[in-house]
């Protein structure tokens, strides 16, 4: 019986080519939009999820009060690293210096390198980054060692780079290669240099300041891993004593240390200074999701309107089927089959379109947006759910309209989808469809004008 439903549905779609084309094209554009938005949202919510102990990792952030108000920042004084190890020896902690860019020299060839971390071995205790070669716990204890990320190493002209010089000052030996997580993190990293390299005699020349001052805040980022016996609140309660111990009394009164969960870093707009990346407002993702839903809804309403308009032409077919004994539920399943075939075709086409435009969207948004359908089970599940829900939503009302036709009137060709009521379902759908479309167009024009103004 199911095979018969789909066979007849396929023939009906071929018979009404223009109707099929319009519905498939409309739904394909709607589903494509949903796929692209899903990929963007999935990328944003996956930040920092690759680390095994991500739920227990926190970044130390500061609030500094003054006459103008409260300043919120993510950078911390460099002496904090040693203070954490001395005052909380049972706590896993790390602090690194982030260098946004520097001049790099390899065999007399000069170029610019970005996103450099100066870290100690404890960095790999907090963040379980995969090590392809070398031993960070050993090599990062001494000066002059550097680990390159696999992606950055591939961009170098020479694959067997052994020595690198930064700013014609720091001589570094390549100690190994690391592989950053495949999912995005709030830290952009190309190389990790041993923090011991920044000795007092070279720090002034390389950075332009000394790293032993509690009153200096440049680009130091501190992280801790809380044990099971410690909570965020209990750890924050210990910070005032640490501040009083190391800060000048007047300065200590202005300082407040807090813990920022790793999972919230990418979406925290108050403490939004990140090493190499920018934060994203979570409300933006909600707006994107709503836009995708509205666009798909417009396509579904268009499908419903065309289907109910075409139902008058199918009235004789319905009359014959009912005269021959077809039940209403059988006719409902028949026309739901047509809706499913149309939606399935639209879904297949939308995957091809999304595959082509995803890199362009990613380039425009400066995000890594890739489809990779076969390696993305979440996307497959999402696509299946969208196709099933869209087919059911788009086809259920037209199927009910067709299946309730009176066989006598249908055979006499006296059927009409109009009702005596001044407000019919079709009128509501048409008004709703155009309202949503106009709102989206107006919002697009406003945003475009604002961007041009900026």
Give the tens place of pLDDT for each residue, 347-393.
999 999 999 998 888 888 777 888 888 888 899 999 999 999 888 88
Task: Tell me, yes or no, whether 121 and 18 share the same domain.
Answer: no
Task: Tell me, yes or no, whether 7 and 107 share the same domain.
Answer: no
Task: Tell me, yes or no, whether 165 and 31 share the same domain.
Answer: no
Classify burial at 164, counting beta carbons within 10 Å of its beta carbon; exposed 0-12, middle 13-18, buried 19 or more: buried
Residue with tokens 């060709």: 413
Q: How far is CA 118 from CA 74, 284, 378, 386, 433, in A?
A: 17, 33, 36, 46, 55
How many independent structural domains does the chain possess?
2
Task: Tell me, yes or no, whether 35 and 108 share the same domain.
Answer: no
Task: Tell me, yes or no, whether 175 and 305 share the same domain.
Answer: no
pLDDT at 442: 86
Is residue 266 domain-resident? Answer: no
pLDDT at 421: 46
pLDDT at 391: 87
Among 194, 213, 242, the domain boundary falls at 194
Among 137, 168, 194, the domain boundary falls at 194
Lowest average pLDDT, out of 2-16, 95-109, 130-144, 190-204, goes to: 2-16
Task: Tell me, yes or no, whether 14 and 119 share the same domain.
Answer: no
Is residue 300 domain-resident? Answer: yes
Task: Tell me, yes or no, whether 422 and 324 share the same domain.
Answer: yes
Question: For residue 3, what are its two tokens?
Answer: 């095979």
Question: For residue 64, what are its two tokens?
Answer: 């500094």
Residue 388's nearest CA partner among 340, 325, 431, 353 is 340
Is residue 158 domain-resident? Answer: yes
Is residue 61 domain-resident? Answer: no
Task: Tell me, yes or no, whether 310 and 406 share the same domain.
Answer: yes
Task: Tell me, yes or no, whether 16 and 108 share the same domain.
Answer: no
Q: What is the mean pLDDT of residues 218-231?
A: 91
Is residue 238 domain-resident? Answer: no
Is residue 209 domain-resident? Answer: no
Question: Is the pLDDT at 13 greater than 70, yes or no?
Answer: no
pTM above 0.85, yes or no: no
Residues 6+ apart with CB under 8 A from 350: 27, 28, 29, 31, 32, 35
Question: Is the pLDDT at 32 greater than 90, yes or no?
Answer: yes
pLDDT at 302: 83
> Is residue 401 within 8 Å of residue 312, measured between CB atoms?
no
DSSP H or E segment with residue 66: strand 57-66
Residue-number span of the structural domain to which 165 is assigned: 98-194
Is residue 57 domain-resident? Answer: no
Among 153, 178, 194, the domain boundary falls at 194
Mean pLDDT of the chain: 84
DSSP H or E segment with residue 62: strand 57-66
Residue 143's nearest CA partner among 189, 90, 76, 196 is 196
CA distance 34 to 37: 5
Task: Tell me, yes or no, whether 43 and 104 share the same domain.
Answer: no
pLDDT at 6: 59
pLDDT band, very low/low/confident/very high, at 308 (cuts 50, 70, 90):
confident
Residue 217's nearest CA partner among 142, 273, 169 is 273
pLDDT at 297: 86
Task: Tell me, yes or no, whether 295 and 419 share the same domain.
Answer: yes
Residues 141, 146, 152, 157: what is their CA dihedral angle, to the nearest 10 degrees?
A: -160
Helix extents (H) in 157-261: 200-206, 232-236, 239-246, 249-252
Task: Tell me, yes or no, whether 35 and 117 share the same domain.
Answer: no
Is residue 309 domain-resident? Answer: yes
């Amino acid at each position: 019986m199911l095979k018969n439903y789909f066979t007849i549905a396929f023939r009906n779609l071929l018979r009404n080519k223009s109707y099929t084309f319009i519905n498939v094209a409309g739904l394909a554009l709607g589903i494509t939009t949903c796929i692209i938005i899903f990929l963007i949202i999935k990328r944003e919510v996956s930040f920092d999820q690759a680390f095994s102990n991500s739920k227990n990792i926190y970044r130390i952030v500061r609030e500094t009060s003054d006459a103008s108000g409260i300043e919120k920042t993510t950078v911390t004084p460099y002496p904090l690293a040693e203070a954490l190890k001395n005052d909380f020896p049972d706590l896993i902690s790390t602090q690194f210096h982030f260098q946004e860019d520097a001049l790099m020299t390899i065999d007399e060839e000069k170029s610019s390198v970005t996103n450099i971390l100066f870290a100690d071995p404890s960095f790999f205790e907090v963040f379980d980054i995969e090590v392809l070669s070398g031993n960070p716990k050993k090599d990062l204890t001494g000066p002059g060692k550097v680990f390159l990320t696999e992606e950055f190493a591939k961009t170098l002209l020479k694959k067997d780079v052994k020595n690198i010089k930064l700013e014609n000052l720091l001589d570094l030996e390549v100690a190994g290669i690391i592989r950053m997580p495949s999912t995005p993190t709030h830290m952009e990293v190309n190389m990790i240099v041993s923090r011991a390299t920044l000795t007092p005699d070279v720090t002034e020349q390389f950075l332009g300041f000394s790293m032993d001052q509690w009153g200096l805040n440049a680009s130091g980022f501190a992280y801790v891993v809380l044990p099971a016996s410690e909570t965020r609140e209990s750890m924050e309660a210990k910070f005032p004593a640490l501040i009083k111990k190391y800060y000048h009394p007047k300065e200590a009164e202005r300082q407040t240390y807090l813990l920022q969960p790793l999972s919230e870093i990418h979406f925290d707009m108050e403490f939004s200074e990140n090493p190499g990346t920018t934060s994203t407002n979570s409300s933006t993702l909600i707006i994107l999701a709503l836009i995708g839903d509205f666009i798909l809804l417009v396509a579904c309403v268009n499908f419903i309107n065309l289907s109910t308009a075409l139902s008058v032409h199918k009235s004789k077919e319905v009359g014959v089927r009912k005269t021959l004994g077809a039940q209403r539920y059988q006719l409902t399943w028949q026309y739901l089959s047509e809706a499913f075939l149309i939606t399935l075709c639209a879904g297949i086409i939308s995957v091809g379109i999304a595959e082509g435009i995803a890199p362009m969207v990613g380039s425009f948004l400066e995000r890594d947006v890739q489809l990779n359908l076969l390696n993305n089970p979440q996307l497959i599940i999402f696509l299946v759910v969208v196709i099933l829900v869209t087919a059911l939503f788009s086809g259920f009302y037209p199927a009910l309209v067709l299946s309730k036709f009176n066989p006598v009137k249908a055979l006499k060709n006296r059927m009409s989808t109009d009702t005596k009521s001044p407000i019919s379902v079709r009128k509501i759908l048409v008004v709703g469809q155009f309202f949503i479309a106009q709102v989206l167009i107006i919002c697009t024009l406003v945003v475009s004008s604002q961007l041009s103004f900026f």
